[in-house]
Structure 1
């Protein structure tokens, strides 16, 4: 069928629906819900067999839903209605939730049900829950609903019984009483608002939105008092303990620009009093505390896990992770796994920190070089096998970090974006070496030029991914651990490491990694230093959440799947270099970002 996706943003769920429907042979176009007139034009232009709305915050016009079957993905079980479904579920401590695909009608969220799938609610932030358990349930429900619609014989069932329409989850309900709220209550309020809108609070004489929250077991103080800092986060005392707050966003001044969400210490800048900077524990059993980088070992396998808010990696994040990688590489292991958490892998450089810098061009340059240093360290590791364990979405430089490893193991629900063009960038992190080596020059050119999301399954067919794990989000770390220990103990591992070293030497003789880096960074530097380059306006719009003014053409135009080159997908050993990709620069970038990498 030809399916038109209608969405308020081309966010992670919309991307996954887009990619997986294409995997199943449908042609798919997407239209951002920027107004009724534009939506009507898109429907007339596409003449779709089915309209599907994976993430929609406004009503579909009656003349559209009355003439076409229009299915809405609602992040709640049947009978749940309202715009803040996940906020309420986390706030009330729900253990089980669900996703419903229902038919659009006159009343929001009240249409006939085409499919409904339940899911657990682990104690994680709203964005993590949305990208993982909710996303898994949503795709199961979407595929079921699409199959039922295609059959032409299914009759959706009317929602009967008790329906509950709950209002917008306002800041009054989110407000933290630092004098009396225990740590668990504070963390729950922060988790229900971790991406948007944040919890509005007063701190050091100004209003801030607090984003993210992690309990702290070892620190105590006067409730509301700031106790310490750690890698950009602040620790604040609660009634019975403390919480770490990773990010803050200033309240918007009347008529002023939208402030960026930033690491808390950077956001507070000169307001922050002198506080101790506490080092993060690196071991696996450090208790409840904030630790964005951890290392552990099992058998002959080492595991370096990391988790940065929104998947964005600042210059400092890259340098700290590089230090941790070098320390892990000094350990006597045979296999080294990077990643392996339950959510985002990496989305590359930190655009919001860059935007807030005094000199964004200089910070862009520092950040991209720090990212390159990290990727180079992985690429040049020849004394052991490396595995990138990609539990969640990866994009741009984060995707290239994964491709630097010998093997990429990916959770089945992850969405991959191996391109840079939508931010007006040519790209770096040795992509001109790793991407063609993995998928071939022709597919690499299409991936970077078309800039469409790729599912984990399609990634494996193309050669981006070596192993896809169909496990629940919370099980991915344990499963990759089991597989890595088995790989490290396998009889052929020593021979593989030796062959890897020889192949690295051969590739270096053909074209040194330094040549790739020099060429890529020369183009990136020209972009950073050109004040008229699209990158600067696109970065600003992304960081400050400026709404798009049109649907980008790369998602509104249906395209066939990228097929693997002859010979099948990569299976654990390096291929010869597929050649250098050219012609994939920012030739047709959108004027506004479309939420292509992050959900916040």
Structure 2
């Protein structure tokens, strides 16, 4: 089928559906919902059999849905209507939620039902639920709806759907999200911040300044006067509730950008007690820890959960330090687990934008992540594995490839390219790591493609090594890592020999120098494309046009 995606942006859900439908042979083109006239023009140019709206912030105009089959992917159960479906579900503590594919009609979210899929709710940020459960349910529901369409079936009117318990709910406003620090317990505070995470955040004040709160984590050991900031650690500030505390990882001040809390309030929080953890060992989830280490026999597991997958200069340095520490442990295999939602998305664009000199901070950040990648490549004491349970993009994709093995969860979306960020050349030793895996032409295609790649496609082309099933991902990683440890002697000998041969052929330092020469031009050269693209990305400026690599109908 010819399918037109009408969407607010090319977000994670849109990317996943785009890749899934393309892989099944559908011709997919994308148009950003900028104005009715622009959308109408896209429909006229593409002449689609189906218009799919995976992520919209307003209704599809009647000039389109009256004349074309239009499906809306709504992140709510059957009968749920309104723009804050997931927000209400989280804040009200729903135990089960779902996704509904419905046909666009005059009343928003009230058209006939083509398919639905449900999932159990977990305690998590809205953005995390969206990238995980909502995305998986959306793929299931859209594919089911396509099967129904193929069989010639008709959708079910909402009033005929059995046991539909959803209802019309309004846009959630800041008054609905407001935290009462003197009365709300820890779980209530977490639900409110979770329900607003990603966007719009919870309007509040911190250390005497108005701001929006994001990225909350529970703290069960520390206590203090409700509402008071009682501790700081790395990027986060700890604020007491009536029965415990929460760590606030990120904030956004009026007119500013989203940043780590300790960066935004560096001066104000200078007198707050700093509570570093004793070491890298797991804190048994009683407190917030962005880098933690666990061990099972001959296998060490290094977890690093950085907000939105962005890795600052200091985070790269700390993760390298943790990795080198792990190599001194009496183990044979080190598995880099990343976080649940993201493994890594490369350098930290928000902190770069915030820096006094974005060019200097870009340079520091790329060198820090290169130092980490080089430590992985040069490691000859252990076998290393990157286990991607979450998405990865740009430098994060190649940082993973610096490990000996890369295992990726089925359903993960990868964006192994840099050019969308102002034609960045990229580093992380991709010129050394990628061509031997996919060939020179394959490497050029990946870097030029600019489109998302599903896990199985990454393995099929040779970029990554194995796709593991989502439901048993953690167990399968542990089993495979233990098997590597059993086959250690032969594998480590082959690894050392291969590294020595590569170094003799062309030193690793030469690859790094060549890549960084290109990156220096991106950061300090006459072409400002990278700085302009970064600013638009960080500022979340509205789209004024759809990139041509997505809008096939405009090629």
Same fold by TM-score greater than 0.5: yes
Structure 1 residues 347-366: Cα deviation after superposition (integer angstroms, max 9, x where no partner): 00000000011111110000
Partner of 1:19: 19
Superposed displacement of residue 156, structure 1: 1.1
Q: 2:539 aligns with which of 544, 549, 562?
A: 544
Looking at structure 2, the residues matched to 136 and 171 of structure 1 have their Cα atoms a distance apart, in angstroms, of 29
Contact kept, 8 Å, 2:346 with 2:395, in 1: the verdict is yes
Matched, 1:232 2:235: yes
The unaligned stretches of length 5 or more in structure 1 are 253-258, 560-587, 589-600
Structure 1 residues 74-116: Cα deviation after superposition (integer angstroms, max 9, x where no partner): 0011101110111011111111111111111111111111111
Partner of 1:568: none
Contact kept, 8 Å, 1:342 with 1:476, in 2: the verdict is no
Superposed displacement of residue 147, structure 1: 2.4
Superposed displacement of residue 390, structure 1: 0.4
Structure-to-structure mapping, 1:579-598, within 5 angstroms: none
Contact kept, 8 Å, 1:341 with 1:476, in 2: the verdict is no
Matched, 1:480 2:477: yes
Looking at structure 2, the residues matched to 123 and 186 of structure 1 have their Cα atoms a distance apart, in angstroms, of 12
Partner of 1:268: 265
Matched, 1:469 2:489: no
Partner of 1:432: 431
Partner of 2:403: 405
Aligned residues: 549
Looking at structure 2, the residues matched to 416 and 531 of structure 1 have their Cα atoms a distance apart, in angstroms, of 30
Matched, 1:339 2:342: no
Q: Give secondary structure in 1 for the equivalent of 2:342.
A: coil
Q: Flag the 1:383–1:163 CA change in 2: closer, same or farther, 3 A.
A: closer
Contact kept, 8 Å, 1:214 with 1:245, in 2: the verdict is yes
Superposed displacement of residue 467, structure 1: 1.3
Superposed displacement of residue 340, structure 1: 5.2
Contact kept, 8 Å, 1:217 with 1:287, in 2: the verdict is no
Looking at structure 1, the residues matched to 327 and 307 of structure 2 have their Cα atoms a distance apart, in angstroms, of 25
Matched, 1:535 2:534: no
Looking at structure 2, the residues matched to 126 and 18 of structure 1 have their Cα atoms a distance apart, in angstroms, of 22
Matched, 1:157 2:156: yes
Contact kept, 8 Å, 1:54 with 1:72, in 2: the verdict is yes
Q: Give secondary structure in 1 for the equivalent of 2:390.
A: coil
Structure 1 residues 114-153: Cα deviation after superposition (integer angstroms, max 9, x where no partner): 11111111111111110001111111111111222233x1
Q: Flag the 1:341–1:271 CA change in 2: closer, same or farther, 3 A.
A: closer
Q: Give secondary structure in 2 for the equivalent of 1:269.
A: coil
Q: Flag the 1:163–1:96 CA change in 2: closer, same or farther, 3 A.
A: closer
Structure 1 residues 406-447: Cα deviation after superposition (integer angstroms, max 9, x where no partner): 111111111000000010211011011112122221121111
Contact kept, 8 Å, 2:42 with 2:553, in 1: the verdict is no
Partner of 2:132: 132
Superposed displacement of residue 200, structure 1: 0.6
Structure-to-structure mapping, 1:177-256, within 5 angstroms: 177-252=180-255
Normalising by structure 2, report the TM-score: 0.96
Looking at structure 1, the residues matched to 179 and 235 of structure 2 have their Cα atoms a distance apart, in angstroms, of 22
Q: Give secondary structure in 2 for the equivalent of 1:97.
A: strand
Superposed displacement of residue 556, structure 1: 1.0
Superposed displacement of residue 471, structure 1: 1.8
Contact kept, 8 Å, 1:340 with 1:480, in 2: the verdict is no
Q: Give secondary structure in 2 for the equivalent of 1:276.
A: coil
Partner of 1:372: 370
Superposed displacement of residue 314, structure 1: 0.5
Contact kept, 8 Å, 1:292 with 1:307, in 2: the verdict is yes
Q: 1:382 aligns with which of 371, 380, 383?
A: 380
Contact kept, 8 Å, 1:457 with 1:468, in 2: the verdict is yes
Q: Flag the 1:340–1:202 CA change in 2: closer, same or farther, 3 A.
A: closer
Structure-to-structure mapping, 1:506-545, within 5 angstroms: 506-530=501-525, 532-545=527-540
Superposed displacement of residue 276, structure 1: 2.0
Looking at structure 2, the residues matched to 296 and 544 of structure 1 have their Cα atoms a distance apart, in angstroms, of 37
Partner of 2:315: 317
- Bigger CA drift: 433-442 or 223-232? 433-442
Partner of 1:279: 276
Superposed displacement of residue 341, structure 1: 3.9
Partner of 1:142: 142
Structure 1 residues 266-306: Cα deviation after superposition (integer angstroms, max 9, x where no partner): 11132334122211353235342110111111121110011
Partner of 1:396: 394
Q: Tell me how large the CA RMSD over aligned residues is.
A: 1.6
Q: Give secondary structure in 1 for the equivalent of 2:437.
A: helix
Looking at structure 1, the residues matched to 111 and 469 of structure 2 have their Cα atoms a distance apart, in angstroms, of 32
Q: Flag the 1:44–1:357 CA change in 2: closer, same or farther, 3 A.
A: same
Partner of 1:66: 66
Q: Flag the 1:340–1:309 CA change in 2: closer, same or farther, 3 A.
A: closer
Looking at structure 1, the residues matched to 284 and 525 of structure 2 have their Cα atoms a distance apart, in angstroms, of 46
Superposed displacement of residue 504, structure 1: 1.1
Looking at structure 1, the residues matched to 381 and 480 of structure 2 have their Cα atoms a distance apart, in angstroms, of 19
Q: Flag the 1:484–1:162 CA change in 2: closer, same or farther, 3 A.
A: closer
Contact kept, 8 Å, 1:335 with 1:386, in 2: the verdict is yes
Contact kept, 8 Å, 1:2 with 1:28, in 2: the verdict is yes
Looking at structure 2, the residues matched to 500 and 115 of structure 1 have their Cα atoms a distance apart, in angstroms, of 49
Normalising by structure 1, report the TM-score: 0.89
Looking at structure 2, the residues matched to 494 and 49 of structure 1 have their Cα atoms a distance apart, in angstroms, of 57
Structure 1 residues 189-233: Cα deviation after superposition (integer angstroms, max 9, x where no partner): 111112111111022232100011111122111111111111111
Contact kept, 8 Å, 2:82 with 2:168, in 1: the verdict is yes
Contact kept, 8 Å, 1:234 with 1:264, in 2: the verdict is yes
Partner of 2:491: 496
